[in-house]
Amino acid sequence: MTRYIYEFGPRSTDGDASMKNLLGGKGANLAEMARLGLPVPPGFTISTECCNDYFERGGCFPDPLESEVMTALARIEAQMGMRFGDPEAPLLVSCRSGARSSMPGMMETILNVGLCSKTIPGLAARTGNEWFVYDAYRRLIMMYSDVVMEKAEQVVPEDGMGIRLNLEMMMNNLKNDKGYEHDTDISVQDMRALCDRFKKKISEYLNKEFPDDPREQLMGAIGAVFKSWNGKRAVSYRRIEHIPDAWGTAVNVQAMVFGNMGNTSATGVAFTRDPATGKNHFFGEWLVNAQGEDVVAGIRTPNPLNKETKNMQNRHLPSLEEAMPELYAQLYDIRNKLESHYRDMQDIEFTIQEGTLYMLQCRVGKRTATAALNMAMDMFEEGLIDETTMICRLNPKSLDEMLHPIVDPVEEKIAVQVAEGLPAGPGGAWGKIVFTAEDAVQMAKTGENVILVREETNPEDIEGMRAAAAILTARGGMTSHAALVARGWGKCCIVGAGAMKIHARNRQLQVGTRTFKQGDILTLNGTRGIVYEGRLKMKDALENPKFQKFMEIADRHRTMGVRTNADTPEDAATALKFGAQGIGLFRTEHMFYGADSDRPLFLLRKMILSKSTEERQTALDELFPFVKQEIKNTLAVMDNLPVTLRLLDPPLHEFVPQTEATQGEIAKALGIDLEEVIKRSQMLKESNPMIGHRGVRLGITFPEVTRMQVMAIFSAAAELIGDGKHPRPEIMVPVTCNEKELSFTKKIVDVCYRDVLETHNLERIPYLFGTMIEIPRAALIADKMAEDAQFFSFGTNDLTQMTFGFSRDDIGSFMNDYIDHAILDSDPFETLDQEAVGSLIEIAVERGRQTRPDIKLGICGEHGGDPDSVAFCHRAGLTYVSCSPYRVPIARLAAAQAAIQENG
Ligand code: ADP
Ligand code: MG
Ligand code: MG
């Protein structure tokens, strides 16, 4: 029989930190903390397997569950000396969700389960604190009605607000009417009356009574936590984070401890090191006389944990270090224990009940990329972790954030400051302000840079937060929802900019006498927490010596090369700075787009529209010096390093002249009339240009086109050799599917090679001849392709397109549906499809090596900069990956980590 329940607590603990898949992260770590002897209130975890069984049975508990829950509960009762539902000594529990990996705020937790008319008087008598009991009760009512009675039942509120907001409004009205500033000011009588009115409201609003039976409350809560796994927010979060639906959530049922029992009680959240900077100091926030969520929800400005945590928003408030020094010392001790045990920064939740400290959660803390870098290097120096662990601590994807722009300090000096808040997510960003998540999503879709401005964020804002370039809130501390989420994503974010008054309804933001409307532009410096008017310039954050050193160490572990895709000398130079070891893809077409492209483009058009070989040859002769010069410039920058030059692969229809003026010019140049130009242009139209007359096929029809390019490559190299340089060109033939295409092309190359050697009086020019593998057929006959090809470069963009039969240019209309329906886990153009495209690569590698054991193998699609794909390339035995210049560091780190992982 499947075991569903695992206990944890001071007396006996079944699980441990390694059991995250079964117990969820929260449950596994609660068990681990209990094992370490830390003060964890006793409880038990219902496994993720049970969650899956629950869904399999169409939302019914597996048969033995309820009785097993009651048995486990009895063991908590015995330890606590209290009984669930007992009128004199009632035990209350929390019912907490917890998936394998943390999904902050995505799923549900219900506190104070077990309070009812039978248990309230007993708890009040026992604690002598009636206020506390009713505060706990009203929280239970609010959470329970929202999570269990409304969301889990999929009730769609008619007023669009939902029960929770209705109840919150009732509470706010009460506070306003009676002039209560904080929740804690509400009198016992009022709190009690409020609970009654809450229940009445629920009965009217949801047509159901709030359950007064503890056991019904508990089983209802457990089911609702399971259901929250399939709630709208949780599902959309999983899509963004690529978390499989099949993981399920665990449920933790745990004896309640109370931070809201008066002034010797408190609750808090802390990080064992600073999650924004990585500094080695204890960092956190707490509130006196409060329960669980209060700190995170930004209900009151939380107090700083200690000196190090004081900032402009909270420095007037007492720290835990000052207010409760003994408890702080105890917590500090736990902090050290946790760090040396987990050897990583932990994010913890604690509660103090009348002077006794309890630990309620720990997990590896989210951090900014900069913090991750600093912590990893510090912990290595402290001897806490070894070198390979250090290298694996930095998520390659997060480098993006570190290499990404900061506000230009020169412009910042003279910029107009609008407001100041807490620096919750680093880096800089500018954008048009919007006030709702929906607007953020809408505007971002049209390509706008937006900043999402909110009073505070909540999990419902998640998609808007994702779409925004930055997030700005008026309320909340460093551990607020906005801060946690932004840090997780490495997004620029400022929270708690209290001077801002936000009128979301009329889409306005007011600071002092100034008003900003939707669409106005602001710039955020998320590293300092300052908001500026208008758009400021951004700057690269590359020159970080610590980062350079880290990458140097990582490079020592890497076995695969990293090159770049670059079409210009400028890109090539940038990539060198980022550590590229050559070019994996140089596209000649580029010279027909960007700056100074008028003349070459004109000549290319002339060539394309030529009818006879003579006409074409004239155009090619004129084009030759341009092509040669472009290639020479880039080869010069990449001196001594390999440069893969792809032969022309132009989508012809894109280059055909469209306007009458350009058509006229060509007509004149070719000595034909306008009609004829238009006619020839029309003949070039193809129904499927993507699989039309392109790549090697062009050179089969017009060998002189290949000849011109190869001559340009060898001549450029020869001239550079003459200048004492060491060019290493690699000629790459695109869009091949047949070995004879290669032998055909190779003959042209051989003739050109001898020609250039003779002209320049050289003995040899080092070069390689090879092909892209981007058509499945080519992969399957790689053994034949390798007869002439000295290297393969996997063009995984086209290889993906042709393997899936998905047009790269048209996936926009259906890819989201594929992701939403979980038909695909991710967009195969972003993350390499290892199953099929990967198989083709593996087959090509194996067959290619049969013919040519020392064949060089690379990848030049977008995937070359995606960490998972890089790891795959390492495993597949590729020689190098190639990616855009800014992704070079990401690929370097991902390749180092792949090598480390391979060695165990
Ligand atoms: P989340 O995953 O959203 O953080 P949690 O399950 O951690 O949800 O619970 C929400 C809040 O309630 C946290 O602040 C937590 O510390 C608090 N909490 C949960 N269980 C208990 C308990 N048994 N006693 C006191 N506080 C609790
Ligand atoms: Mg929560
Ligand atoms: Mg928590």
CB neighbour class for 774 (10 Å; exposed up to 12, middle 13-18, buried from 19): buried
Which one of the ligands is nearest to 254 CA?
A: 1
Q: Which of 252, 340, 347 is nearest to 15 (CA)?
A: 252
- Cα of 360 vs centre of ligand 1, distance in Å, is 7
858 CA from centroid of ligand 3 (Å)? 45
CA dist., res. 383 & res. 259, Å (int): 37
293 touches ligand 1 (CB under 6 Å): yes
- CA 699 remoteness from chain centre: 43
Q: Assess contact for 403 and 368: CB atoms under 8 A.
A: no
Residue whose CA lies nearest to ligand 1 atom number 18: 292
First to last CA, the chain: 35
Q: Is 745 in the pocket of ligand 1 (CB under 6 A)?
A: no
Distance 139 CA to ligand 1 centre (A): 13
Of all protein residues, the one whose alpha carbon is nearest to atom 8 of ligand 1 is 109
Answer yes or no: is the C-beta of 162 below 6 A from any ligand 1 atom. Answer: no
481 belongs to the catalytic site: yes
What was the pLDDT predicted at 541?
A: 62
What atom of ligand 1 comes closest to residue 291's alpha carbon? 26
The CB of 349 under 6 Å from ligand 1? The reply is yes
- Report helix, strand and coil shares of the chain as percent, to nearest 5: 50, 15, 35
Residue type, 466: R
Check if 135 has its Cβ closer than 6 Å to any atom of ligand 1.
no
- CA atoms of 229 and 107, how far apart (whole Å): 7
Q: How far is CA 49 from CA 26, 106, 236, 250, in A?
A: 15, 20, 22, 8
Residue-wise DSSP of 250-308: EEEEEE---S-SSTT-EEEEEESS-TTT--SS-EEEEEES--TTHHHHTSSPPEESSGG
Q: Whose alpha carbon is nearest atom 22 of ligand 1?
A: 256
Residue 254 Cα: closest atom of ligand 1: 23
Task: Report residues near ion ligand 3: CB below 5 Å.
Answer: 361
Residue 463 Cβ inside 6 Å of ligand 1? The answer reads: no
The CA distance from 888 to 875, in Å, is 19
SS3 408: coil
Nearest CA to ligand 1 atom 3: 105
Backbone angles phi, psi at 242, to 5 degrees: 55, 45
Kindly give, in sequence order, each residue whose CB lies less than 8 Å from that of residue 869, ignoring residues fewer than 6 positions away: 796, 831, 832, 859, 863, 881
pLDDT at 594: 62
Ligand 1 within 6 A of CB of 110: no
Residue 451: strand pairing partners: 433, 470
CA dist., res. 515 & res. 150, Å (int): 38
Give yes or no for residue 370 CB within 6 A of ligand 1: no
Separation of CA 105 and ligand 2 centre (Å): 4
Per-residue pLDDT of 584-617, as tens digits, reads 999 888 788 666 778 888 998 898 888 888 999 9
Instruction: Pick the residue whose CA is nearest to atom 26 on ligand 1.
Output: 292
Q: Give the integer Cα–Cα distance in Å for 773 and 790.
A: 13
Task: Pick the residue whose CA is nearest to atom 23 on ligand 1.
Answer: 256
Q: Whose CA is nearest to atom 9 of ligand 1?
A: 109
Instruction: Kindly list the distances between the CA atom of residue 524 and the CA atoms of 427, 484, 736, in Å, as whole numbers in the listed order.
Output: 8, 17, 49
Going from the C-alpha of 494 to that of each of 131, 282, 739, the distances in angstroms are: 36, 21, 58
Query: Of the candidates 217, 297, 293, which has an alpha carbon nearest to the alpha carbon of residue 259?
Result: 293
Is 585 strand, coil or helix? strand
Answer for the pair 289, 259: CB distance below 8 angstroms, yes or no.
Answer: yes
Whether residue 351 has its Cβ less than 6 Å from ligand 1: yes
Nearest CA, atom 13, ligand 1: 292
Give yes or no for residue 228 CB within 6 A of ligand 1. no
Instruction: DSSP for 207-245, please give it.
Output: SSPPP--HHHHHHHHHHHHHHHTTSHHHHHHHHHHT--G
Q: Of all protein residues, whose CA lies closest to atom 20 belonging to ligand 1?
A: 94
Q: Is 292 in the pocket of ligand 1 (CB under 6 A)?
A: yes
Q: Where do we find the tokens 């000196």?
A: 307
| Ligand 1 proximity of 96 Cβ (cutoff 6 Å) | yes
Find the 169 Cα to ligand 1 centroid distance in Å: 24
Shortest-distance atom of ligand 1 to CA 97: 6
CA dist 606 and 834 (Å) reads: 43
Report whether 795 contacts 861 (CB < 8 A).
yes
Ligand 1 pocket, residue 479 CB under 6 Å: no
Residue with the nearest Cα to atom 27 of ligand 1? 292
**Spatial distance between the Cα atoms of 488 and 366, rounded to a whole number of angstroms:** 6
Ligand closest to Cα of 268 equals 1
CB 617 within 8 A of CB 704: yes
CA 436 distance to own-chain centroid: 21
Q: Which of 51, 362, 404, 481 is catalytic?
A: 481
The verdict on the CB of residue 260 being under 6 Å from ligand 1 is no
List beta partners, residue 359: 350
97 CA from centroid of ligand 1 (Å)? 9
Gap between the Cα atoms of 619 and 838, Å rounded: 41
The predicted structure's pLDDT at residue 102: 82
Alpha carbon distance 267, 829 (integer Å): 46
Q: Which of 860, 863, 874, 883 is catalytic?
A: 860
Q: Rounded distance, CA 477 to CA 833, Å?
A: 41
CA distances from 271 to 46, 104, 363, 425, 457 (A): 27, 15, 10, 15, 21
Measured in Å, residue 361 CA sits from the centre of ligand 1 at: 8
User: Is the CB of 41 within 6 Å of ligand 1?
Assistant: yes
Query: What SS3 class is residue 46?
Result: strand
CA of 105 to the centre of ligand 3 (A): 8
42 lines ligand 1 (CB under 6 A): no
Instruction: Using the mean position of ligand 3's atoms as its centre, give its distance from the Cα of residue 363 in Å.
Output: 9
Tell me which residue has its CA closest to atom 17 in ligand 1: 292
**Euclidean distance between CA atoms 278 and 382, whole angstroms:** 14
Is the CB–ligand 1 distance for residue 257 below 6 Å?
yes
317 three-state secondary structure: coil
DSSP letters, 86-149, are: -SSSEE-EEEEEEESS--TTTS-EEEEET-STTTHHHHHHHHT-HHHHHHHHHHHHHHHIIIII
Can you tell me whether residue 860 is helix, strand or coil?
Answer: coil
How many angstroms does the Cα of residue 96 sit away from the middle of ligand 3? 8
**Mean pLDDT, 10 residues at a time, the chain of 904 residues:** 93 96 97 98 98 95 95 96 96 95 82 97 94 96 96 87 94 95 93 97 96 97 95 85 90 96 95 93 95 78 93 90 97 98 97 97 91 95 97 90 79 91 89 96 93 90 91 87 79 92 93 94 93 91 78 96 92 92 91 77 89 91 95 97 94 79 88 89 85 92 94 98 98 98 98 98 97 98 98 95 90 86 88 95 98 97 89 97 90 97 88
Q: What is the pLDDT of residues 399-408, one digit of tens each?
A: 877 776 789 8
From the CA of 257, give the closest atom in ligand 1: 24
Ligand 1 atom nearest to 255, measured from its CA? 23
For a substitution probing ligand 1, which of 111, 112, 139, 287 has the most ligand atoms within 8 Å of its CB? 111
The ligand that comes nearest to the alpha carbon of residue 358 is: 1
Q: Give the other-Cβ count within 10 Å of 290's Cβ.
A: 25
- The closest-lying atom of ligand 1 relative to the alpha carbon of residue 360 is 16
Residue to mutate, 360, 362, 485, ligand 1, most ligand atoms under 8 Å from C-beta: 360
The single residue listed with the structure tokens 């240009």 is 689
Burial 57-81 (b: 16+ CB within 10 A, else e): eeeebbeebeebbeebbebbbebbe
Ligand 1 binding pocket includes 268 (Cβ within 6 Å)? no
Q: Choose among 764, 774, 738, 830: nearest CA to 646.
A: 774
Task: Give the predicted TM-score (pTM) of the model.
Answer: 0.80
CA-nearest of 26, 22, 20, 7 to 53 is: 22
DSSP letters for 612-636: SHHHHHHHHHHHHHHHHHHHHHHHH
What is the number of alpha carbons within 13 Å of residue 438 lying toward its C-beta?
2
